[in-house]
Amino acid sequence: MSGFDSNPFVDPVDVNPFQDASVTQATSGMTETVGEFNPFSENHSTTTIPISAAASQPAVLQTSVEQSIQGPQATATAAQANLIKQQEELEKKAAELERKEQELQNRTIGRALNAGARENNWPPLPKFLPVNPCFYQDFEEEIPEEYRRICKRMYYLWMFHSATLFLNVLACLAYFTADSQYGVDFGLSILWFILFTPVAFICWYRPVYKAFRSDSSFSFFFFFFVFFFQVAVYIIQTVGIPKWGNSGWISSISMIGSNLPVAVVMMVVAGFFTVNATLAIILLKMVHSKYRRTGASFTKAQLEFSQGVLTNRTFQTAATSAATSAAQGAFQGN
């Protein structure tokens, strides 16, 4: 009956819920951890994430996006800068052309004003001779600077041409003394020297001088037409066909067996003819390259020729005389 005497409202066992083994273990572990942690200690281990690693991927994406946005803008800016540069180059070329045109006009006006005052100075003859110079020539005054060198070279070619023809006379004289049957060569060499020296000056040197002086298309075309035949003549003279009046390679080689000194003299002249032909071809190409830069054309040459013929006083006088004669004949016939 003792069991029934106990108080039903009193717990038979005084149980403390905080004395549970699991709770006690967790509480003790937390206490130890909190107690051992020192925020000011340098020995605690922490795991950090580098900023560069964390921000590397967004930075790359941001750069690519910026490049894709700035790409069209950079292209447009480069194209605009290129257009500005091209415009500046065109303006410079236009200013250069205008300057050259102004210089040409000034030279033309100066020549027109001084035409009556200046005197012919070529060929340079002594004062006591009754013959006066026939042409006026001044590279510094009349020829533009960009064409002056090539024009002087053409003048030097004509001088070399004349000297070669004179030496050809001497070589053909030696040829004639070595063998009397070659007297024809000696006579023709004198004729070539007397004829081709002034003809070359008038027919191809003066036209190219006038072409560079006044930018004349007609003078350019006349020079090309005549100088082409001059190059062909140089080649024929270089070959040296016997009894053609030229001391070329064929004639000089044929004299080696009979008279060696005469053959050597003739070979020297043949070398001069070869140099003439080579220089003529080179200068022809150079003049043609200069001609293409001047803006000359065949249409302008035709226009210059027609204007020159119609304004020529000799032509006008002849045309007037012919018309008068025809009119008088018509009236007399009636």
Q: Note the pLDDT tens digit of each residue in 4-29.
A: 555 555 555 555 555 555 555 555 55
Q: State residue 277's pLDDT score.
A: 97
Location of structure tokens 């009956």: 1
Angle, helix 206-214 to helix 217-239, in steps of 10 degrees: 150
Residue 191: both structure tokens together: 């004729």
Q: State residue 319's pLDDT score.
A: 46
Location of structure tokens 């007399």: 332
186: number of Cβ within 10 Å = 19
3-state secondary structure of 122: strand
Residue 296: both structure tokens together: 């000359």
Chain-centre distance for alpha carbon 34: 90
275-291 average pLDDT score: 94
Q: State residue 113's pLDDT score.
A: 56
Give residue-wise pLDDT tens across range 200-258.
999 999 999 999 998 888 889 899 999 999 999 999 999 999 999 999 999 999 999 88
Question: Which positions ≥6 away from 328 have C-beta within 8 Å?
Answer: none
162-186 average pLDDT score: 94
Say if pTM beats, i.e. exceeds, 0.85: no
Contact 168, 246 (CB under 8 A): yes
Tell me the percentage of the chain whose pLDDT exceeds 70: 63
Q: Which residues pair with 157 in a beta bridge?
A: none
What span, in angstroms and rounded, lies between the C-alpha atoms of 252 and 246?
10
Q: Is the pLDDT of residue 331 over 90?
A: no
What span, in angstroms and rounded, lies between the C-alpha atoms of 280 and 233?
11
Angle made by CA atoms 37, 41, 47, in degrees to the nearest 5: 80
Q: Is the pLDDT of residue 103 over 70?
A: yes
Burial 249-267 (b: 16+ CB within 10 A, else e): bbbbebbeeebeebbebbb
Location of structure tokens 């003739």: 266
Contact 125, 160 (CB under 8 A): no
Domain ranges of the chain: 146-303
> With the CA atoms of 312, 317, 322 and 324 taken in that order, what torsion angle do they form, in degrees rounded to the nearest 10?
140
Rg over CA atoms, the chain: 52
Residue 314: both structure tokens together: 């000799």
What span, in angstroms and rounded, lies between the C-alpha atoms of 330 and 139?
53
> With the CA atoms of 207, 213, 214 and 216 taken in that order, what torsion angle do they form, in degrees rounded to the nearest 10?
30
Burial 290-317 (b: 16+ CB within 10 A, else e): bbeebebeeebbeebeeeeeeeeeeeee
